[in-house]
């Protein structure tokens, strides 16, 4: 056995095995936490974007905006346990507020991750009707033009007398 250069024996240290047994699980846990945080941020951004799109959709309806027909698409979201939303339509303004509870299933019992993550979202949009605004602008312009003509005629009539 003189030709075999194996480094196994009672006098040799096993420090590499011990380090690998402690460091690799920590690195894997860290990767999982980062992935969960990325999912959390993705869900938060998606809820924010979709809530604004719902407000915009409701505010673009001209006759009687019905908030019951518009809803957020929650099929694309990860890790949601509960989801609440309230849509308010007041005059020309539409607003949505809500909250969602995210429950990571892997680390729920572990002390590294909280049991419930809570995210809130809100959005606002104002109903805007370009045709109505153009008509209003034309009416105001017509009234100002007639008023200016009336004032200039009145001044010309006074100077000629």
How do residues 25-81 score in pLDDT, each as one tens digit?
889 988 988 888 888 888 888 888 888 888 888 877 766 666 666 666 777 777 777
Tell whether 6 is covered by a domain: no
Tell whether 54 is covered by a domain: yes
* Overall pTM surpassing 0.75 (yes/no): no
Tell whether 78 is covered by a domain: yes
Q: Where in the sequence is the domain holding 50, given as residue range(s)?
A: 16-148
Q: What percent of the chain has pLDDT over 90?
A: 9
How many domains is the chain partitioned into structurally? 1
- What average pLDDT is seen over the chain? 77
Tell whether 2 is covered by a domain: no
CA distance 60 to 119: 27
| Close Cβ partners of 40 (under 8 Å, ≥ 6 residues apart) | 79, 102, 117, 119
Tell whether 1 is covered by a domain: no
Tell whether 153 is covered by a domain: no
């Amino acid at each position: 056995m003189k030709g075999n250069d194996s480094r196994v024996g009672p006098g040799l240290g096993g420090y590499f095995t011990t380090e690998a047994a402690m460091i690799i699980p920590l690195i894997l846990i860290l990767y999982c936490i980062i992935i969960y945080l990325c999912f959390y941020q993705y869900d938060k951004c998606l809820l924010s974007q979709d809530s604004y799109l719902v407000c915009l959709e409701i505010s673009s309806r001209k006759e009687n905006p019905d908030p019951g027909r518009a809803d957020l698409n929650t099929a694309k979201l990860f890790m949601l346990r509960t989801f609440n939303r309230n849509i308010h339509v007041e005059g020309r303004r539409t607003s949505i507020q809500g909250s969602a509870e995210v429950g990571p299933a892997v680390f729920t019992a572990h002390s590294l991750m909280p049991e419930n993550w809570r995210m809130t979202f809100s959005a606002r949009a104002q109903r805007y009707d370009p045709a109505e605004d153009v008509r209003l602008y034309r009416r105001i312009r017509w009234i100002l033009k007639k008023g200016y003509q009336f004032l200039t005629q009145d001044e010309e009539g006074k100077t000629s007398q």
